[in-house]
């Protein structure tokens, strides 16, 4: 099985330090029972051919080979996100208390495909674990398997004959956040649980969507913290927004089908948050059009359709893809909005929360993932920087808009001191070095 046009990129750019693996999690009402989770995965996996594969490398391409292996299913330990073996399955399940985590190599699928698979596994787990809570009709059916067999490459109809894909993708270099990294490859994760009702009130005030408002907040935090350095470097702030292409082009697939749109701010301009929200709304309007998205996808696909690309050895392809990735220009930050989580109503009473953690890279050391469920929006900021002022400013700006929240800080990887593993939430004055305002601040244990 071939990798899709996005999936071809990830084996080329993945490293042991930055393995391009993301984590999506579901919280249940009771602690996870490992034996039932293993049974649920074993019974569900055959229906998802996009996952039941091993990554192999041949002379000209990486490819996916069908497998009868079962994935790793273990208790979550604070040892970070580990790379997958090159010839093994490219996903794993972890459990911790009442959380089920799915870690996936991005070459397999995007967030939409991963959520579909995770939902199917969790539905089957709930049928096994909560027999007394579910009706007989619910126990007898299988859920979440619709469209699981669809593994076509939805990108392939978007190629162009221009022969110069870099001209379709070329962007000026973005400002890069530099600084001292966390020791021993550690990653800091700030998780904020925000009131969705209050966030929507703020959105209505500025006539913006949730994604537009959070993007403006992220850019404004960058502008506040790094304006002077960005002006000196003569580079703009850029937040990359992954966009699910399925609803735009009416295509269904369990593999990757997304592109990223760049939302930018000029550090030499003077912004208020309100002005920046207006600028972000304008860019979203321009770049979420079908024509713009089609040109973005064409740039991704065309380079891989050329004869030189198709028949060059994989070593040269990796070099070419890495070069194209650099030529395209990195972003300052990534913000991925997975949207509203909507489990089937039959199992909604068993699920109490969702979470997503994105992998950082050397050039994009801060990434934000967003998802909502019921009246809570989960905002997860991942960073490998030693300095944590940007995360504090992001949550502080949310607080200034009247959005109540709870914040937890955790560490991934390395040997964390005990006081850094978790945080306690306390309501008091929170300072971002410019203004003092009410917020929920994090106090280390």
Angle of helix 273-287 versus helix 290-305 axis, rounded to 10: 60
Q: Which CATH number fits domain 175-292+327-444: 3.30.559.30, 3.40.50.720, 3.20.20.140, 1.10.10.10?
A: 3.30.559.30
> Can you tell me the distance from the alpha carbon of 108 to that of 20, in angstroms, rounded to the nearest whole number?
11
pLDDT in tens, 310-363: 677 888 878 877 777 776 668 999 999 999 999 999 999 999 999 999 999 888
Q: For the chain, what are the domain ranges?
A: 9-157, 175-292+327-444
> Which residues 6+ apart lie within 8 Å of 352 measured at CB?
27, 28, 29, 98
The pLDDT assigned to 424 comes to 32
Mean pLDDT of 164-186: 75
Closest CA to 25 of 101, 136, 131: 101
> Can you tell me the distance from the alpha carbon of 111 to that of 338, in angstroms, rounded to the nearest whole number?
7
The pLDDT assigned to 169 comes to 54
The pLDDT assigned to 430 comes to 38
Mean pLDDT of 34-61: 92
- DSSP of 181-235: BPGGG-EEEEEEEEEHHHHHHHHHHHT--HHHHHHHHHHHHHHHHHHHHHHHHT-
Neighbours of 376 (CB within 10 A): 20
- Fold topology of 9-157: Chloramphenicol Acetyltransferase (3.30.559)
- Residue 369, strand partner residues: 336, 380
If pLDDT is split at 50, 70 and 90, which confidence band does 82 have?
confident
- Residue 383, strand partner residues: 188, 366
- Residue 333, strand partner residues: 239
Look up residue 90 and give its two tokens.
């490219």
If pLDDT is split at 50, 70 and 90, which confidence band does 1 have?
confident
Note the pTM of the prediction, 2 decimals: 0.89
The pLDDT assigned to 131 comes to 92
The two domains 9-157 and 175-292+327-444 share their CATH topology (first three levels equal): yes
Neighbours of 68 (CB within 10 A): 8
Neighbours of 84 (CB within 10 A): 23
pLDDT in tens, 394-444: 999 999 999 999 999 987 654 333 333 333 333 333 333 333 333 333 322
The pLDDT assigned to 214 comes to 98
């Amino acid at each position: 099985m071939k990798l899709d046009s996005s999936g071809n990129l990830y084996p080329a750019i993945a490293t042991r330090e930055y393995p391009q693996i993301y984590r999506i999690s579901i919280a249940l009402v009771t602690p996870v029972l490992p034996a039932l989770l293993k049974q649920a995965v074993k019974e569900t996996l055959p229906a998802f051919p996009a996952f039941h594969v091993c990554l192999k490398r041949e002379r000209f391409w990486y490819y996916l080979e069908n497998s009868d292996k079962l994935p790793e299913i273990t208790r979550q330990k604070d040892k970070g996100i580990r790379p997958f073996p090159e010839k093994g399955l490219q996903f794993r399940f972890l459990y911790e208390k009442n959380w089920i985590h799915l870690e996936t190599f991005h070459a397999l699928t995007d967030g939409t495909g991963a959520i579909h698979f995770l939902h199917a596994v969790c539905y089957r787990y709930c049928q096994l674990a909560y027999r007394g809570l579910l009706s007989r009709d619910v126990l007898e059916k299988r859920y979440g398997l619709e469209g699981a067999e669809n593994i076509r490459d939805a990108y392939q109809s978007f190629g162009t004959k221009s022969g110069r894909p870099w001209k379709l993708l070329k962007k000026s270099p973005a400002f890069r956040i530099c600084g001292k990294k966390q020791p021993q490859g550690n990653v800091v994760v700030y998780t904020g649980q925000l009131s969705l009702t209050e966030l929507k009130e703020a959105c209505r005030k500025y006539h913006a969507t949730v994604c537009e408002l959070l993007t403006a907040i992220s850019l404004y935090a960058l502008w506040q913290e790094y304006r002077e350095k960005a002006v000196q470097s003569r580079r703009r702030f850029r937040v990359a927004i992954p966009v699910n292409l399925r609803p735009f082009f009416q295509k269904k697939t369990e593999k990757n089908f997304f592109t990223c749109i760049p939302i930018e701010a000029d550090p030499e301009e003077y912004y208020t948050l309100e002005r920046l929200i207006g600028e972000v709304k304008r860019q979203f309007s321009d770049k979420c059009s079908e024509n713009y998205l089609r040109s973005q996808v064409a740039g991704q696909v065309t380079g891989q359709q050329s004869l030189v690309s198709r028949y060059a050895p994989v070593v040269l392809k990796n070099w070419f893809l890495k070069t194209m990735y650099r030529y395209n220009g990195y972003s300052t930050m990534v913000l991925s909005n997975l949207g509203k989580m909507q489990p089937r109503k039959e199992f909604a009473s068993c699920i109490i929360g969702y979470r997503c953690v994105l992998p950082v890279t050397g050039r994009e050391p801060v990434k934000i993932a967003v998802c909502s469920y019921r009246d809570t929006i989960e905002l997860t900021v991942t960073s490998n920087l030693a300095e944590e002022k940007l995360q504090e400013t992001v949550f502080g700006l949310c607080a200034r808009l009247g959005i109540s929240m709870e914040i937890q800080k955790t560490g991934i990887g390395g040997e964390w001191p005990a006081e850094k593993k978790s945080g306690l939430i306390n309501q008091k004055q929170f300072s971002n070095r410019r203004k003092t305002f009410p917020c929920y601040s994090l106090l280390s244990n």
